[in-house]
Amino acid sequence: MDSTMTPAPRSVRASVFRLLGRNPLRRAALFLILGVVAGLPSMALPKSTLLVLGPDAKGYKQVMQGMSEELEDEFDLIHRKVDRDTPYKNFEAHLLEVQPDLLVLMDNVTISYYRFFQERYRGRIDFPPTIVTMALFVDQSIKGMEKVIGLRYEVPPVISLTHLRSIIADPVNRVGVVYRAEHRNYFEGQKAYCDQEKITLVGYEIGSDGADGTGTVDEKNLSKEIRNGLKYLITNENVDVLLVLNDNKLLREKDVRTVWLPKLRRFRKPVVVGVESLMSIAGFGNFGVLPDHYGLGISVANLAIDIKESQWEMESGHVYNPNSVKKHLEKKFARKYLTVPPDKYNEIDILK
């Protein structure tokens, strides 16, 4: 069901905005004149329109809540449900009807649709500045798109590890990460952030020897590579912590069962994960640092304000990191194998 948080006369406004274009000064001037003519007591500038396209499941609703509470003085927020069951023509219709000043896309489906929309309308209409969030590996998803920035969904390792370090008294100096060659840039970027916090990310790259160097390895070799990677990090590098990236290709059900779990069960040190499902598998993640969806909404709001204050200018292609997380700790594991000062349990969101 479509939900419009702040209803407004779309057709009239769309016509006026089409007439005026996106120039905020022209808009302000017109509204000032209209205000004088109408004898309105207030001369406040009109709010801008922000269209959110995405699913309306629980996590998405929390992002919306954070955004709407933070932006209520600056934007009229309109949410239209778009998910994998929504046909492209509906997505296009929402965009053309609302003609927002700012667009927020949630989920990978909306990104695919918007890429197609841009190809279809390039040179014919002025695309609004767009923020993409709640999508996996947004860095790659938005490449080549016009006036689009991203807010990552994955919790950056530097945030996860700073939290872990502040909770446990055990060392968090050298952290092992298995990643595919396709995510090399992401890994290198995060490694640099961790270096600033004096935490060394020790990587094991999978697929770098592949013919095209894109991390493409066949199924059988992938399992073997993950096994080798974990063995290398745990035995050769003797890392203090393992950090598991949210990469579905590395976390296939069979590999979780036959490769990851046998290695992790003997590790007895922190295993940091970024999704709840990996905390639910006994013997897998014992410290979860998961996105705080409300906080993600606040981060989107901060970006929206920046864009508005920059007269709708932005550096297309830039990808930002989320700030807010929820911390999960597996109590039994922590009590048995980690050193957690008693007061620190009060800083954990979910103790299982």
| Residues in contact with another protein by the rule CB under 8 A | 69-73, 156, 158-159, 162-163, 165-166, 193, 196-198, 294-295, 298, 301-302, 305, 309, 320-324, 345-349
Q: Nearest distance from residue 151's CB to another protein, in Å?
A: 11
In three-state secondary structure terms, 72 is coil
Would you say the C-alpha torsion 276, 159, 70, 152 has a positive or negative sign? negative
Residue of 352, 346, 341, 319 whose CA lies nearest to 148:
319
Q: Which of residues 18 and 318 has its CB atom nearest to another protein in the complex? A: 318
193 touches 161 (CB < 8 A): no
Q: Which of residues 246 and 323 has its CB atom nearest to another protein in the complex? A: 323
Residue of 262, 292, 323 whose CA lies nearest to 62:
292
Q: What is the spatial distance between Cα 282 and Cα 37, in angstroms, rounded to a whole number?
A: 68
Q: Nearest distance from residue 266's CB to another protein, in Å?
A: 30
Beta-bridge partners for 271:
242
| Element containing residue 271 per DSSP (H, E) | strand 271-273
CA 350 to mean position of chain CA atoms: 21
Residue 173 main-chain phi, psi, to 5 deg:
-100, -45
In three-state secondary structure terms, 202 is strand
Q: Which of residues 162 and 216 has its CB atom nearest to another protein in the complex? A: 162
Q: Which of residues 4 and 166 has its CB atom nearest to another protein in the complex? A: 166
87 touches 116 (CB < 8 A): no
Q: Which of residues 205 and 292 has its CB atom nearest to another protein in the complex? A: 292
Q: Which of residues 199 and 251 has its CB atom nearest to another protein in the complex? A: 199
Under 8 Å CB-to-CB from 166, ≥6 apart: which residues? Answer: 344, 347
Q: Which of residues 232 and 320 has its CB atom nearest to another protein in the complex? A: 320
For residue 15, CA distances in Å to 11, 79, 117, 240, 282 come to: 6, 20, 21, 61, 57
Q: Which of residues 178 and 348 has its CB atom nearest to another protein in the complex? A: 348
To the nearest 10°, report the CA torsion of 133, 135, 136, 139: -50
Q: Nearest distance from residue 202's CB to another protein, in Å?
A: 18
Half-sphere exposure of 312 (CA within 13 A, CB side): 18
Q: Nearest distance from residue 330's CB to another protein, in Å?
A: 17
178 touches 226 (CB < 8 A): yes
Q: Nearest distance from residue 299's CB to another protein, in Å?
A: 8
Q: What is the spatial distance between Cα 215 and Cα 206, in angstroms, rounded to a whole number?
A: 6
Q: Nearest distance from residue 334's CB to another protein, in Å?
A: 15
Q: What is the DSSP string of 259-303?
A: IIHHHHHTT-S-EEESSHHHHHSTTS-SEEEEE-HHHHHHHHHHH
Q: Nearest distance from residue 298's CB to another protein, in Å?
A: 6
Q: Nearest distance from residue 346's CB to another protein, in Å?
A: 4
Q: Which of residues 167 and 230 has its CB atom nearest to another protein in the complex? A: 167
Q: Which of residues 68 and 286 has its CB atom nearest to another protein in the complex? A: 68
Residue 298 main-chain phi, psi, to 5 deg:
-65, -40
Q: Nearest distance from residue 305's CB to another protein, in Å?
A: 8
Q: Nearest distance from residue 90's CB to another protein, in Å?
A: 31
